[in-house]
Structure 1
């Protein structure tokens, strides 16, 4: 793509006006040449410049501020739990709705009125603040819907102004009154439908949805939740034994680590954003599972 010129100026002709030279051609036609000595000359603006600007405008994409926006990460399994909270999939907690992944996206089935999914993020992670204009876009049952609103503090999700409202869903973004350092994206599931993706962005214009990719989405989700893949065995030292595990991705804060079964007595455990350590009273130890949660 060419670099756009940046020295455009309005032309200023001399006080006597513009001058043209007319030349007779051999075929009987005439050519007209502008021979004015302009007092100010800038870059010319032509079709190529217009095409380049239009390409930039048409291709403008603003960052999606949501995690797991296409619902493909489910470390605890779809409809699993992160601690005591039910989750549709990573980063999306849920209420009286179940989901299953299909070729078209997340098939959602509510079991009663008032079913919803919701995602919370820290405002500092999004660059947003109260009073900003945000745009929410969803693809539901193959159709894309968008809406914009001013980000406001609301005491309850049901009080948030609708940004998208269809026969299938109602979606809104707001700041919870009880956690004013966060933003929530709240989607009411009115009836069985398929959500392919959801996008939240700053500003009043909906720009194209571009998937971040599985690896990037997984890394974002692992800042909030991680779980074991295999058994962990302790290493003996000084009559005790220890497991020192490093997280695949540093977590956003020191997580709550829940340990599974071990045949040896556990004396102590500590955790940081980088991993956790477990001390056993005997010379051997084993963990068959663990979870680490730093969810909001």
Structure 2
């Protein structure tokens, strides 16, 4: 089977200027080309809309180059279809491997039953047990205390991403945050700016407001208008003013998880904001927004899952601890093949919310809109030709050498 990233160039093609119909000679397009692939003749590039047969395909828009007959060509396989089957199988296997074994029980289960990581559930008593290496742990309530100062030991999905502030792809420093600028992933300063720092899992907010835009559709909700939502934080040292959409509430200072229930009045995406309610600094941690009228326990998602959620809005090629645009070496840089006036693009490891704004950087100097030739280290000017949610489709390569690979770093931003 043909594979993603391999080029296809068997036979010749003919296409008229302005036409979307392409005819092949001695071609086998039916099994080797998909909608979304890129076809290049000379310096003209077009996207494939559909493949009708081994010798006929249709373009998304009319051919912008001159009429060609019996011409050599190259097709770059950028359709996500080439990856779909393999990716689906890998994701399914990973999902299945994470599902724990549940065992019904009445009362505490015998240590002779189950394996490490199994969960025994006693529905009559509303408790569950987790199996250790050889013995079962103590009963854990599935109900627990509720209310503004408490939290149930059950769990509900956190509508915030990076609620514990641990992911920092931009390598943002502690301190002043300019208005609208991003700090930790998905968190930015409101219009008046802010001053915030993180030590471990504890945020210190000295001034201003930090916020996150909640994409309601991401969590399966068409709207959260008129739906009770509970906001909770850990160990707030002073009162916090919480805004969800246009409705505000107060989380009072105290130890443990402290919460407030707010019912938004607006539909669509919701601006979630945290502001200190009193003078001086305030500390808190592990922020959670959930649907429902009571707070449930904090439970972090697996680190890789949380990172992938963040990468839906922002991602980069650099190491996690390297700031974008920094002078660095070639490690983790990506490469593209120059063909004519174009350099082939790059598929994002995580699909993005929308077509992102992409910046590319020279891997050694950090200079924007430059690539580095793999074989000689020579610099080539290049800009992004087009991009969508799944990949950078191609680059305009103004001074590249045909057939050579060029290296670069990138950032892709699709924040709300």
Q: TM-score, normalised by structure 1?
A: 0.67
Q: Does residue 86 of structure 1 match 2:181?
A: yes
Deviations 1:116-153 (A, max 9, x none): 0111122222325210011110114479x99999x7x6
Aligned mates of 1:196, 1:247 — CA distance in 2: 31
SS, match of residue 88 in structure 1? coil
Aligned mates of 1:244, 1:85 — CA distance in 2: 30
Aligned counterpart, 1:294: 414
Deviations 1:167-213 (A, max 9, x none): 9x998867586xx4111211003532333210111111111111113
Could you tell me which of 400, 410, 413 is aligned with 1:283?
400
Kindly state the Cα deviation for residue 281 of structure 1 after the two structures are TM-superposed.
2.2
Could you tell me which of 332, 342, 351 is aligned with 1:250?
351
Aligned counterpart, 2:230: 135
Kindly state the Cα deviation for residue 51 of structure 1 after the two structures are TM-superposed.
5.7
Kindly state the Cα deviation for residue 243 of structure 1 after the two structures are TM-superposed.
3.9
Q: Tell me, which stretches of 5 or more residues in structure 1 are unaligned?
A: 5-46, 155-159
Alignment of 1:107-118 (within 5 A): 107-110=204-207, 115-118=208-211
Q: Does residue 105 of structure 1 match 2:198?
A: no
Could you tell me which of 121, 124, 133 is aligned with 1:49?
124
Kindly state the Cα deviation for residue 217 of structure 1 after the two structures are TM-superposed.
1.3
Q: Does residue 224 of structure 1 match 2:313?
A: yes
Q: Does residue 68 of structure 1 match 2:188?
A: no
Kindly state the Cα deviation for residue 77 of structure 1 after the two structures are TM-superposed.
1.5
Aligned counterpart, 2:275: 188
Q: Does residue 164 of structure 1 match 2:281?
A: no
Check the 8 A contact 2:384/2:396 in 1, yes or no. Answer: yes
SS, match of residue 287 in structure 2? strand
Check the 8 A contact 1:118/1:186 in 2, yes or no. Answer: yes
Counterparts in 2 of 1:214 and 1:83: CA distance versus 1, 3 Å: farther
Counterparts in 2 of 1:291 and 1:268: CA distance versus 1, 3 Å: closer
SS, match of residue 380 in structure 2? coil
Check the 8 A contact 2:381/2:398 in 1, yes or no. Answer: yes
SS, match of residue 181 in structure 1? coil
Counterparts in 2 of 1:268 and 1:103: CA distance versus 1, 3 Å: closer
Check the 8 A contact 1:92/1:119 in 2, yes or no. Answer: yes
Aligned counterpart, 1:269: 385
Q: TM-score, normalised by structure 2?
A: 0.49
Deviations 1:218-273 (A, max 9, x none): 11000001123144443222x33514211121111111212323143436511111
**Relative contact order (alpha carbons < 8 A, sep ≥ 6): 1 or 2 greater?**
1
SS, match of residue 65 in structure 1? coil
SS, match of residue 143 in structure 2? helix
Counterparts in 2 of 1:267 and 1:75: CA distance versus 1, 3 Å: closer
**Higher Cα Rg: structure 1 or 2?**
1
Aligned mates of 2:261, 2:180 — CA distance in 1: 21
Aligned mates of 1:201, 1:176 — CA distance in 2: 16
Could you tell me which of 203, 220, 232 is aligned with 2:292?
203
Equivalent pairs, count: 238
Aligned mates of 2:307, 2:227 — CA distance in 1: 28
